């Protein structure tokens, strides 16, 4: 076990922990005011996702109590394991904003504990180990309560050293933020390219019912095959490739369905088209529908097509109600959808163009992951005292150069 060079104090000795507001239809308010509020979905690991902001009514007299202040550390109580203690620092991005009861707000005493340093601690392996050790757990779920958060053992180096550690890690945060922004821009370009190609060419393509292009297959009795997971961002992948803690299903797997390389799987959570491609052989839950091509197709073309806005809005929405809410697509529904079928040469040509654009994005994502891994490694070295930083308000230029060399390596 790693040893840490500084004394630890309970979080509630150096900070105030505030639970949020419960959104309940049964609440009766005498003097309500409607304000924006943060949900778990808004609080990501190291940043905020403010693309969707919802509102809640609260008593006007309670507004000051629940309103977030710049410097508050936001932490989620859990759910999936990756949400356990996930958080970031609030910078007053939205005026007069509150938070729901599944998000904690931690207001530190800035003379003793910098909020940015606390955020580093809670997001480090040190913090994650504590949250997992004291969390209430069930299958694939874990959560903490305010009492457990109050007991969090805060490592407390001198304030000037906290500043130096924060400054050093900000160097990595800048690289991460720039790479994330570049990926977002490339994703928009890719989406535009996909829609342009499909919209312009689609009217000229042949169309077939889905049942004429794909067979629903259900081969069972392969319990020793690798267990696969159906994801919306990476397709169908081995469970061993998933991050975080994943519970394996109990009981026999003899009833699980075999997925062959080149099959598509109808996802149980159909937010982005709902059809996921598998580049792997393995087994999935019998609740899934496995699709095997009946006609010759270019799999990469249909991988892109099934993720396109055109497919979701123009084709799939005709047969499936509520897809944006994640409603499951039944094989019967899918059979009735008319799907375009370009000539194979055209499928290959389009897939090649989109693959090239996607590979550029994937390369940037690999670089981003490397930055994150390097930051976590650096964080561990700094928190254990294995690496020392200058106790100045800003990291020295010499230190930055050394860190830059490490980052490039």
Q: Convert the pLDDT of each residue in 98-130 to its tens digit.
A: 999 999 999 999 999 999 999 999 999 899 999
Is residue 325 very low, low, confident or very high in pLDDT (cuts 50, 70, 90)? Answer: very low
State which residues form the domain around 181: 159-205+342-409
Q: Is the pLDDT of residue 71 over 50?
A: yes
Q: Convert the pLDDT of each residue in 382-402 to its tens digit.
A: 888 788 776 654 444 444 454
| Same-domain status, 290 and 228 | yes
| Same-domain status, 170 and 216 | no
User: Would you say residue 228 lies in a domain?
Assistant: yes
Is residue 295 very low, low, confident or very high in pLDDT (cuts 50, 70, 90)? Answer: very high
Which tops the pLDDT comparison, 327 or 230? 230
**Residues 329-343: what's their mean pLDDT?**
85
Residues listed for the chain: 409
Q: Is the pLDDT of residue 34 over 80?
A: yes
Which tops the pLDDT comparison, 28 or 407? 28
**Residues 207-233: what's their mean pLDDT?**
92
| Same-domain status, 213 and 334 | yes
What is the rounded CA–CA span in Å between residue 334 and residue 129?
44
| Same-domain status, 296 and 263 | yes
User: Would you say residue 169 lies in a domain?
Assistant: yes
Return the pLDDT at 68: 96
What is the rounded CA–CA span in Å between residue 200 and residue 23?
46
Q: Is the pLDDT of residue 264 over 60?
A: yes
Q: Is the pLDDT of residue 270 over 60?
A: no
Return the pLDDT at 268: 63
User: Would you say residue 14 lies in a domain?
Assistant: no
| Same-domain status, 217 and 284 | yes
User: Would you say residue 31 lies in a domain?
Assistant: no
| Same-domain status, 306 and 363 | no
| Same-domain status, 294 and 337 | yes
Q: Of 154-168, 263-277, 321-335, which gets the smallest average pLDDT?
A: 321-335
Q: Is the pLDDT of residue 80 over 90?
A: no
**Three-state secondary structure along the chain?**
CCCCCCCEEEHHHCEEEECCECCCCCCCCCCEEEEEEECHHHECCCCECCCCCEEEEEEHHHHHHHCCCCCCEEEECEEEHHHCCCEEECCCCCCCCEEECCEEEEEECCCCCCHHHHHHHHHCHHHHHHHHHHCEEECCEEECCHHHHHCCEEECCCHHHHHHHHHHHHHHHHHHHHHHHHHHHHHHHHHHHHHHHHHHHHHHCEEEEHHHHEEEECCCCCCCCCEEEEECCCEEEEHHHCCCCCCCCCCCCCCCEEECCCCEEECCCCCCCCEEEECCCEEECCCCEEEEECCCCCHHHHHHHCCCHHHHHHHHHHHCCCHHHCCCCCHHHHHCCEEEECCHHHHHHHHHHHHHHHHHHHHHHHHHHHHHHHHHHHHHHHHHCCCCCCCCCCCCHHHHHHHHHHHHC
Indicate the residue among 321, 341, 361 that finishes a domain: 341
Percent of the chain with pLDDT over 90: 60
Indicate the residue among 318, 341, 364 that finishes a domain: 341
Which tops the pLDDT comparison, 27 or 80? 80
User: Would you say residue 397 lies in a domain?
Assistant: yes
| Same-domain status, 352 and 365 | yes
Return the pLDDT at 43: 94
User: Would you say residue 97 lies in a domain?
Assistant: no
**Residues 62-82: what's their mean pLDDT?**
90
Return the pLDDT at 393: 42
User: Would you say residue 406 lies in a domain?
Assistant: yes
Is residue 328 very low, low, confident or very high in pLDDT (cuts 50, 70, 90)? Answer: low
Return the pLDDT at 75: 96
- Tell me, what CATH number does 218's domain have? 3.90.220.20
Return the pLDDT at 391: 63
Instruction: Give the chain's mean pLDDT.
Output: 86
**Residues 361-378: what's their mean pLDDT?**
92
| Same-domain status, 173 and 221 | no
Contacts of 169-176 with C-beta under 8 Å, sequence gap 24+, read 169/120, 169/375, 169/378, 169/379, 169/382, 171/395, 171/400, 171/403, 171/404, 172/371, 172/374, 172/375, 172/378, 172/407, 173/46, 173/375, 175/371, 175/407, 176/46, 176/368, 176/371, 176/372, 176/375
Return the pLDDT at 399: 46
Contact between 208 and 341 under an 8 Å Cβ cutoff? The reply is yes
Which tops the pLDDT comparison, 3 or 310? 310
| Same-domain status, 328 and 393 | no
Closest CA to 279 of 210, 226, 358: 226
Return the pLDDT at 409: 41
Q: Is the pLDDT of residue 14 over 90?
A: yes
| Same-domain status, 295 and 230 | yes
Which tops the pLDDT comparison, 288 or 79? 288
Indicate the residue among 309, 341, 373 that finishes a domain: 341
Contact between 86 and 75 under an 8 Å Cβ cutoff? The reply is yes
| Same-domain status, 176 and 325 | no
Return the pLDDT at 389: 78
Which tops the pLDDT comparison, 267 or 409? 267
Is residue 237 very low, low, confident or very high in pLDDT (cuts 50, 70, 90)? Answer: very high
Farthest CA pair distance, the chain: 70
Q: Convert the pLDDT of each residue in 376-385 to its tens digit.
A: 899 888 888 7
User: Would you say residue 10 lies in a domain?
Assistant: no
Q: Convert the pLDDT of each residue in 172-196 to its tens digit.
A: 889 999 999 999 999 999 999 998 9
Does pTM surpass 0.85? no
Query: How many domains are contained in the chain?
Result: 2
């Amino acid at each position: 076990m790693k040893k840490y060079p500084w004394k630890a104090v309970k979080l509630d000795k150096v900070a105030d922990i505030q639970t949020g507001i419960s959104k309940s239809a049964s609440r009766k308010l005498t003097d309500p005011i409607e304000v924006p509020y943060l949900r778990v979905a808004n609080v990501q690991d190291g940043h905020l996702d403010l693309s969707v902001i919802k509102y809640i009514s609260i008593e006007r007299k309670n507004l000051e109590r629940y309103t977030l202040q710049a410097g508050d550390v936001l932490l989620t109580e859990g759910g999936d394991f990756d949400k356990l203690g996930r958080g970031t620092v609030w910078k007053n991005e939205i005026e007069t904003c509150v938070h729901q009861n599944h998000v904690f707000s931690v207001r530190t005493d800035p003379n003793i504990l910098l909020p940015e340093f606390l955020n580093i601690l809670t997001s480090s392996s040190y913090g994650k180990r504590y949250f997992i050790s004291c969390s209430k757990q069930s299958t694939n779920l874990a959560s903490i309560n305010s009492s457990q958060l109050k007991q969090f053992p805060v490592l407390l180096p001198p304030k000037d050293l906290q500043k130096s550690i924060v400054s050093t890690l900000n160097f990595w945060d800048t690289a991460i933020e720039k790479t994330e922004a570049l990926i977002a821009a490339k994703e928009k370009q890719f989406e535009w390219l996909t829609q342009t190609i499909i919209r312009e060419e689609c009217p000229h393509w042949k169309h077939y019912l889905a049942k004429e292009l794909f067979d629903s297959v259900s081969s069972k009795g392969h319990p020793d095959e690798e267990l696969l997971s159906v994801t919306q961002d990476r397709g169908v992948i081995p469970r061993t490739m998933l991050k975080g803690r994943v519970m394996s299903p109990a009981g026999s797997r003899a009833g699980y369905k075999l997925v062959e390389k080149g099959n598509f799987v109808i996802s149980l959570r159909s937010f982005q088209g709902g059809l996921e491609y598998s580049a792997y052989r393995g087994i999935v839950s019998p609740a899934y529908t496995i699709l095997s091509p009946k006609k010759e197709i270019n799999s990469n073309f249909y991988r892109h097509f099934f993720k396109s806005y055109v497919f979701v809005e123009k084709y799939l929405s005709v047969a499936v109600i509520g897809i944006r809410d994640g409603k499951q697509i039944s094989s019967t529904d899918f059979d009735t959808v008319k799907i375009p079928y370009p000539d194979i040469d055209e499928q290959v040509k389009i897939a090649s163009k989109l693959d090239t654009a996607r590979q550029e994005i994937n390369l940037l994502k690999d670089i981003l992951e490397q930055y994150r891994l390097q930051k976590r490694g650096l964080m561990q070295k700094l928190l254990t005292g294995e690496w020392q930083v200058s106790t100045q308000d800003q990291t020295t230029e010499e230190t930055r150069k050394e860190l830059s060399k490490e980052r490039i390596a």
